[in-house]
Every structure is written in C-alpha cells, then in structure tokens.
Structure 1
Amino acid sequence: MSLVKKFATVGGATLGSRLFGFARETLMAAALGTGPMADIFYAAFRFPNLFRRLFAEGAFNAAFVPLFSKEIEANGVEGAKRFSEEVFGVLFTALLVITIGMQLSMPLLVRWIIAPGFADDPEKTAITVRMAIVMFPYLMCMSLTAMMSGMLNSLHHFFAAAIAPVFLNVIMISALLYALWTGADPLTTGWYLSWSVLAAGIVQLAIVYFGVRHAGIRIGFRRPKMTPNVKRLLVLAVPAAVTGGITQINQIIGQAIASGKEGAIAALQYADRIYQLPLGVVGVAVGVVLLPELARALKGGHMKEASNIQNRSLEFVLFLTLPAAAGIWILSEAIIRVLYERGAFSADNTAVVASILAIYGVGLPGFVMIKALQPGFYAREDTKTPMRFTIVSVVVNSALAISLFPLIAERGIATAEAAAGWINTCLLFFTLWKRGDLTWEWSFARRVLMLLIATAFMSAGLIYAMPYAAPWLTPGSGLLHQLGALFGLIGLAMVTYFGIAFLIGGADLGMIRRNLKRGKRAPAPTADDQQ
C-alpha cells in the first residue's frame, strides 16, 4: 500500500472525527457561547487532555512504535506481544498512581496551574475542580488506547486507531443534544459534558482493544517489571512525552494567562477547533503513518528509501497546508460566522474568534511540518533533540504570551503559539538537514515555490470574490444560504489552487504516486501473516 493510501486511510478517519468536532463546537457555542460555564468546562478538560498528549500520544508514538517495530523485525509477532505485555503492566500501574495523585491534588492544580485567573471566584474554582476530577480518568483510558493504537499502526492496521477518536465527539454531541432538548441550564450542561468525556474514554479503549485482538495479538496482564526493553522505552519516552505535547504545553500556558479575562479561554478553544481540522487530517495522518514506515526502513538498512519517504512527506504536507493557511486567513470571519454565530454566540464573539483563527492560520504549515519532521528523529531513537527544541519553543511562547496579552488580549496568545511553532519547525528541519538525515533537493525547492505562486493566485481570487458572497454570509440570510456561500468560496479556492499548482508544475499526481510507494523489499510479517 502506498503512503498516499495510508495517509488517506488515517486522514479520512481523522476528517470524520474533526467534522463531528465541528458539530460539537457548534452546539457548544449555541448552548454556552463564551460564557463562564464554557470557560470552566474547557479549563477542566484541558488538563487531562494535556496529560493525554504528554504521557500517551507523544510518548508512545515516539518511543513505543520504533521499539515495537524492532521487535517485529527481530522476533516476529510473538516477540512484539511479549514486549507489549511488559509495557502494559508498567503503564497500567503508573497511570493508576498518577490518576489518583492528580485527583487528590486537583484543588491546588486548578488554583495555581489550570486557571489561576479563577482564584477570585470561589464557586467557579470549585466547579472547575469537581469537573476536572470527573474527567481525569480519561487520561488512563487514552494512554492505554495510545499504546494499542501504536501496535495497530505498526501492524499496518490503521483504521481502528484512527476511527476511535470519532466517538469522543459522538458521545459529547449526544450529551449536548440531550441538554438542549431538555432545556438544561449551563451548569447541568457542563456536568453532562464532563461525564460524557469519561464515557468516551472507555468506549475508545474498547474499540482499539478489540482491534488489537482482531490483528492477532491478545494482551495479557503481567506483573510490573523493569525489563531492559521497558527501561529503554522509558529512556525514549520521557523526552518524547515533553516533545509530543508541545501544542498542549503552549496552549495550557496560554490558558493560564487567558483565565484572567472572561470568555478568553472559550474564544481560543473555538478558534483552535477550526484549525485542528487541517492539522489533524494532514498532520496526524502523516505523523501516524510516517513513524512506523521510517522505523522499518531504517531497521532494514534502506537509507535511501527512508530519505525519500521523509522528503515526499514534507512535500505532501506543504501541498495541502499552504492553501489551507491562506484560506483560513482570508475566510476566518466568514467561517466563524457561519459555524458559530447563533444562540448565545454574538457578532462580537465572531470578531474576536475570527481574529484568533486568522493568526492560527499563519502558524498552520509550521504546526503540521512538526508532525512530519519529528518522526525523522524518533525513528532513529533520538527523542532528546526534539525535546530540547520543544523547551526553546515553550520559552518563546511563554515570553511572547505574557508580553502580548496585555496589549492585544487573546490575539497575543495565538501569536505566541504560532511563532513558537515556526521556531520549532525551523530547528527540526535544519538539524535533520545538517545531520544528513534530510536530503536537500532543488526539485523539491522549486515545487514549493510553485505551490506558493498557486497559493497567491488562489488568495487573489478569494479576495476578489468575497464582496460578491458577503450578502449571502450574513446571519439574516439563513443557514443554508450561508453554507452555500462559504462552500462556494472554498470550492473556488480549491479549483484555482489545484488547477494552477498542476499547471505550473507545483504538483504532479503521477510523481507523488510513484515516489510515495513503499520499496520493493518484502514487508515484515504482520499478525495476519503469522496465523
């Protein structure tokens, strides 16, 4: 299967999740707007979400997948099964201790880390603490889910791991619809959402567990023991945990600063949801598929193939994110108005959230390129270098957020995150190039230039068309007219960009298809091959 098809498999499932996420945020905006309860829920949910990224996705996609792939190459599926059981015993025990400790410490964590700006409102602080306690076990479920997802990705079973996140949005949407149907007050709605997060974690874990069993591996519980493999995993996972959570680290810093202004946390969250669509569909798909592919190529000694996979992945990322970034910048206000402006979400809210979204759009290519560059380090079992770059970007983000928030409020936090993302991208790119792990290709540079030209023509076309679509984008024109006008503009942008990109040589489907195919070497045995 080509990398394009694998990207499409993971990206398609992620797209479904993000579309459900849009529906969820639209209902959230209608039910809670940017009011106090929206701030409370998002603040409480951010903390378990942060730890999910730090201890689950970051650590296991970066550390577990290369080691699991190595076990498959060296000892077959049985060796990989033994390794996964060793890790499961240690991980489950550690997560149980962390979850209990964090829940007991939640009052202090909310006051000093999660939302220090709530300190002057005891009731707001108390509700945030209780909701965070309810949702924190979500971390345990998702960490175990991440481990099993890593197993599935290494075995080339991508769909179950990619589709599982859809159920978080489906269950939360169900809770919101029930709240709106019963006319629940904001506090009751917040509680429905909190319990739905916990329920979703359990459902997602069940999906990937049965996916692993379907792939031919039955995980048994082993007494926690620090075997050499587990020790090696921890050596790789600690820096990877920091690195993998870069976006969440920066966002929780921004949240702590934004908690000093009512509505700021919710505004940042609504904008974040929009730019997470291209970030998730492209970035997550590339990161999930690229790491096991690079790891296997390197373990098999196929250096040229590894270099080709890395370069073609960067090309694929820029091909899709450059127009997305320009489109988000130009259409930010129209997107927010159509998706959110109804119920408790006012025109003033639209202006604030749209300005944040436009800034996030500028940072989008950088955020996605991080997902495509980090596997180049992780596949070589180097998790410390990306961690150092993450620390640099966090320092930059913190300094800029603190400096800019008093001047331009929420926009300052978004600017800090975008700048930190681009700095991290540049550090990763030039380090891989300097080491010789990223081969410079003038043909690649020329194609990027052509993509920039195509993006410029697309942007000009959108700016020209905006005044004609404006009357149809107003709230009074009706939702169907709004959606029609917005999708019309998006369709115009796509036709213009892709047409010019292929016309002037910025993209070539035949070339992309040929270059993204895996080598002719025999693949490592999967669980299905062993049965």
Structure 2
Amino acid sequence: MSLLKNVGTIGGLTAISRLFGFARDMMLARVLGAGLAADAFQLAFTLPNTFRRLFAEGAFSVAFVPMYSRALHGEGGEAAAEKFAADVLAVFIWVLLAFSALAMVIMPGIVWVLAKEYQSVPGKFELSVMLSRVTFPYLGLVSLVAMLSGLLNARSRFAPGAFAPVLLNLTLITGILTGAWLRGPQGDDTIVATALAVSVSLAGVVQLAYMARATRKAGVKLKVTLPKLTPEVKRLGALILPATFGAGIYQVSQFVDTFFATQLPQGSLTLLKLADRLNQMPLGIVGIALGTAILPMLSRHIHSGEAAEAQKLQTQAFEMATLLTLPAAAALAVCAPAFTAAFFVGGKFTAGDGAIMAQIVVALVAGLPAYVIVKILNPGFFAREDTRTPVWTALVALVFNVVLNVFVVRSYGIVGLAAATACSASLNCLLLYAILHRRGWFRFTLPLASKIARQLVATAAMAGALIWVMPLMATRYHAGVIDRIWSLSVLVGLGLAVFGVVAFATGAVDKRVLGQLRRRRPKRTAEDDEILEVQ
C-alpha cells in the first residue's frame, strides 16, 4: 500500500473535517465573541478534547496499533487479533467509565487548578464547571471510537477513522445554530454555550455509532467479555503509561497554555483557541495523516527486519512533511492579519480581537514544521515498542515550556505564551531526531537536506510575493463578503503559483510525487516504484 495513497486518503478526509471545524469556529466567534461564555465553553471543550488526543488518539493508539497489527499478521492471524481486541475492550470500557465518573465528581477542583482566576468574574467559574461536566462524557465515547479506528487502521482501512471528526464538527455546528436560535438577538450567551456543551457529548454518540457500523462492514468481530488482565493487556498498559506523555507533548502543552491563558484578561483563552484553529489546519491534515499512515507500515518493516525500508519510509514522510508545512507556515505568518480579519471579525468578534488573534497565529505557526515532524519521528520509537524515550524528550520540552512561560507571559501576554509553545515543540523535535540518529534508526541524508533547502528557497520566494501584495488589498479584508473572498483568493492563488513555479524550477518537488499527491495513476517505472511504493 502506497504511503502517499494512505496519506492522501487520511489527509483528504481530515481536510474536510478541518474545513467544517473552521466553519464552526467562524460561527462561534461571531455568535459568542471573546467573552465570559466563550471562555467557559473553550475550557469545557479543552478538557475532554485534550484528554482524547492525549490518551485515546495518542497513547492508546501508538501502543495498541503495533500490538494488534503484530497479532493480526502473526501466526494466530484473525483469531489472535480478535481475542486481543476483545480483551482490551473489556478492560478499556471499565477504565473509561471510572475515569470519567471520577473527573465529573471532582470537576470543580480540575477547573480550579486550570482556571482559578475565573472565580474573580461572577458566574464564570460556576459556568465552566457545569459545561465541563456536560462535555466530559465525550471522552469515553471518543476513546472507543479511537480503538475502533485503530482496528481498521491496522488493516489499512483509514477512511472511516479520518471521516469521524467530520461528524463532530457537523454536530457542533448544529449546536451553535440551535443555541443562537434559542438565545435570540439579545439573549443570554450561556444558552449558546450550554447548547454547544450538549452537542459535544451528542457528537460522541454519533461518532461511535458510525465507527461501529464501519467496523462491522469491514468484517471485524468484537465481543464484550468480562474484564481479564491477560499478559498482552498488561503489556499494553505498560506501554500506554509512558506513551501518554511521550506521544502527547502538544496536548500536555495545551493544558499548560490553558492554565497561563486563564490568568490573562478575559477573552485570552478564546483568542488562543481560535488562533490555534488556523495552526491546526495544516497540522491536522499533514501531521495526523502522516503519523497515522506511517505507524502500522513502519511496524511491519521493523518486525520483518527491513531496516532499509523503514529508513526509506521515514525519509519519504519527512520530505512530504516539509514540502507541505514550510510554505503553509510562511503563508499563515505573512497573511495572518488578512485571514483573521476576513474569516473571524464580525458580529460579537471585534477588529481589536482580530488584531490580537493575528499576532497569536504568527507565534504559533513558527513551530508548525516541528509539530508535524514530531508526528513522523515518534513512530520511529513506538513501532519498536519504545515508549519510554519520548517520555524524557517530552519532559525536557515541557519543563522548558513552563519556565519560558513564566518569563515571557508577564511581558508579552498571550502572544508570548504562543511563542513559548512553538519553541518547546521545536526543542522536542530536535531531541527526538538526535536520539534516532544516534541509535541508527533514522538518519538525515544529503539528498533529503538538498530537497529541504530547495523547499526553503521556494518558500522564501512565496513569502516575498505575499509581503508585497498584502498591503495592496488591506481595506478589502474588512469589507463585504465578496471583497473578502476575492482578496483571499488572490493571496492563496499567488502563493500557490509562486511556490509551485519556484519549487519546480529548483527541483524541490518532481512530477511523480505531485502526480501521486493528486491521485493520478500514470504508468509507473521501476524507479517510480522505488520512490513511491512502500510495501
């Protein structure tokens, strides 16, 4: 199965999800603005969503998928894989129920730890606690979704898991519209926030039903049995504990950022989360797609003793990551004022909010390449069932982030906080690569360095063109819908054109790779197979 084909499937569906998520946040900004109710909902949504990425889609997936894949392709085959999955599910359900119930009981304490300053605003702390209790069941539901997605990913069926987030965003958009209708033009914003919180948990039910159906269609049998701690389940647990931290530095940093953001003026948390949506567009599409596709494939190469193929796979993924994220980061940084003004300013979201949000976006995207590359480097450890090493690199990066926040947040506020996050992600990336290189598991080659250098040249040319044209349309970013669409289309079109021309001229990308990314099916040569196919 081609890595590019898998990435295209996952990335394409993830792109659809991100677009719906983007639409959701545009609507949310206009309906709630950056005030009390918006901050309370953002905190309530951050809790289950971050735990989801940290445990379900992070630690659990990176530990479960290689073990399930080994069972599926081992001597026991389908029967062994079915038994392992059933044993895990039997224990997993009870762990999720216990954790969710405990969290909901002690929710006032959790909110106090993350947002103690909310107590200084009448009603804000209490609203945050109530909304967090309403949204938290989503964690248990989406964790089961992540397990079913892992089963299908191990069988190279990536589409259902990549499509499931679309259902979340569609449900949340419905919640925003319902809340706005119930509130009316001059009503209480807490009505909208409550409707949104309910829709979060409802989305978990919808996603689980969809994934259960997709699993049955794929012929995967799952039985809920009495919980039993088998040796394999114990080993999975031993792998999950360190992987929880190692796979989730970005998610752990989200809690750190949330804590510091809640100490800042009202609206800061909302502006940070909305700015992160722009950052998450390329991160989600490229990073999640590459990380999801590479793990089971890398596991098969390593367990088969194919070290050269493993190196080739990670090199190809690295080149693809930089090809897509370097221009994305530069374009977002240059065009942040235009994007925030055109997409978010309106309704209760003011031009002043948009200006601050643009500065946050610039700081966040400085770490965009590192965020994505970490998704490629971590599987190099997880595929070898080494979940301990990333713990130490993540710990160093996290401590660095906290120390940096202590110094920069006081002087630079929410923008300094975003910059500290980017710096810590870059440090984590460098540490992971250094260890992989030292162990001989992955090495940065001269051909790869040459490709990236050429990508940087194309990126610089694109950034220069955007810097030149941006001021020429400054008034249009705040104008009517047609003017906003037209001006952004010019920016996007110019950026793509300049980067594409220079990239081809310098050899940063070749036609075969572009053809695969566009899902063309030209007649392949033996050289094409060597470059593009990873069996």
Using the size of structure 2 for normalisation, the TM-score is 0.95
Whether contact under 8 Å (2:336, 2:358) holds in the other structure is yes
- Deviation, 1:471, is 3.1
Partner of 2:521: none
Task: Say whether 1:478 aligns with 2:475.
Answer: no
Task: Say whether 1:297 aligns with 2:294.
Answer: no
* Structure 2: distance between partners of 1:180 and 1:125: 22
Partner of 1:40: 40
Identify the match of residue 265 of structure 1 among 266, 269, 286. Answer: 269
Partner of 1:276: 280
Question: More deviation in 19-28 or 507-516?
Answer: 507-516
Partner of 1:209: 212
* Structure 1: distance between partners of 2:67 and 2:217: 21
* Structure 2: distance between partners of 1:257 and 1:519: 44
Whether contact under 8 Å (1:330, 1:459) holds in the other structure is yes
- Deviation, 1:439, is 2.8
How is 1:331-410 mapped onto 2 (pairs within 5 angstroms)?
331-410=335-414
How is 1:194-343 mapped onto 2 (pairs within 5 angstroms)?
194-260=197-263, 261-343=265-347
Partner of 1:128: 128
Partner of 2:491: 489
Task: Say whether 1:90 aligns with 2:94.
Answer: no
Whether contact under 8 Å (2:69, 2:154) holds in the other structure is yes
Whether contact under 8 Å (2:30, 2:349) holds in the other structure is yes
* Structure 2: distance between partners of 1:402 and 1:194: 32
- Deviation, 1:61, is 2.0
Partner of 2:523: none
- Structure 2: gaps of 5 or more residues: 517-527
* Structure 2: distance between partners of 1:241 and 1:37: 31
* Structure 2: distance between partners of 1:439 and 1:267: 39
* Structure 2: distance between partners of 1:121 and 1:447: 53
- Deviation, 1:222, is 1.5
Question: Deviation per CA, 1:18-57, whole angstroms, max 9, x where unpaired?
Answer: 0001110011100111111110001111111222122211
Whether contact under 8 Å (1:3, 1:516) holds in the other structure is no
- Deviation, 1:181, is 3.3
Partner of 2:180: 180
- Deviation, 1:488, is 1.3
- Deviation, 1:511, is 5.7
* Structure 1: distance between partners of 2:391 and 2:500: 36
Partner of 2:525: none
SS at match of 2:120: coil
* Structure 2: distance between partners of 1:290 and 1:469: 41
Whether contact under 8 Å (2:108, 2:129) holds in the other structure is yes
Label 1:129 to 1:457 Cα distance change in 2 as closer, same or farther (>3 A): same
Question: Deviation per CA, 1:324-363, whole angstroms, max 9, x where unpaired?
Answer: 0100110001000011000011111011000000111111
Whether contact under 8 Å (1:400, 1:416) holds in the other structure is yes
SS at match of 2:416: helix
Question: Deviation per CA, 1:387-419, whole angstroms, max 9, x where unpaired?
Answer: 111111111111111211110110111011000
- Deviation, 1:519, is 4.2
- Deviation, 1:467, is 2.4
- Residue identity matched to 1:191: T
- Residue identity matched to 1:66: P
Question: Deviation per CA, 1:238-297, whole angstroms, max 9, x where unpaired?
Answer: 111112222121121111111122111001011011110000000000000000010111
Partner of 1:142: 142
- Residue identity matched to 2:83: R
- Residue identity matched to 2:43: A
Identify the match of residue 468 of structure 1 among 467, 472, 476. Answer: 472
- Deviation, 1:123, is 1.9
Partner of 1:166: 166
- Residue identity matched to 1:437: W
- Deviation, 1:185, is 2.6
- Residue identity matched to 1:95: L
- Residue identity matched to 2:401: N
* Structure 2: distance between partners of 1:99 and 1:404: 35
- Deviation, 1:516, is 5.3
Using the size of structure 1 for normalisation, the TM-score is 0.95
- Deviation, 1:424, is 0.4
- Residue identity matched to 1:349: D
- Deviation, 1:82, is 0.8
Question: Deviation per CA, 1:71-94, whole angstroms, max 9, x where unpaired?
Answer: 011121221111000000110011
* Structure 2: distance between partners of 1:14 and 1:362: 22
Whether contact under 8 Å (1:362, 1:418) holds in the other structure is yes
* Structure 2: distance between partners of 1:432 and 1:245: 18
Aligned-pair Cα RMSD in Å: 1.3
SS at match of 1:409: helix
Question: Deviation per CA, 1:309-330, whole angstroms, max 9, x where unpaired?
Answer: 0110000000000000100110
Question: Deviation per CA, 1:171-190, whole angstroms, max 9, x where unpaired?
Answer: 11011122233415311000
* Structure 1: distance between partners of 2:392 and 2:531: 30
Label 1:462 to 1:59 Cα distance change in 2 as closer, same or farther (>3 A): same
* Structure 1: distance between partners of 2:235 and 2:501: 49
Whether contact under 8 Å (2:2, 2:534) holds in the other structure is no
* Structure 1: distance between partners of 2:513 and 2:320: 11
- Deviation, 1:122, is 5.3
How is 1:392-431 mapped onto 2 (pairs within 5 angstroms)?
392-431=396-435
Partner of 2:21: 21
* Structure 1: distance between partners of 2:248 and 2:482: 38
- Deviation, 1:210, is 1.4
- Deviation, 1:490, is 1.0
- Residue identity matched to 1:408: Y
Whether contact under 8 Å (1:56, 1:241) holds in the other structure is no
* Structure 1: distance between partners of 2:275 and 2:254: 12
Whether contact under 8 Å (1:117, 1:257) holds in the other structure is no
Partner of 1:524: none
- Structure 1: gaps of 5 or more residues: 521-531
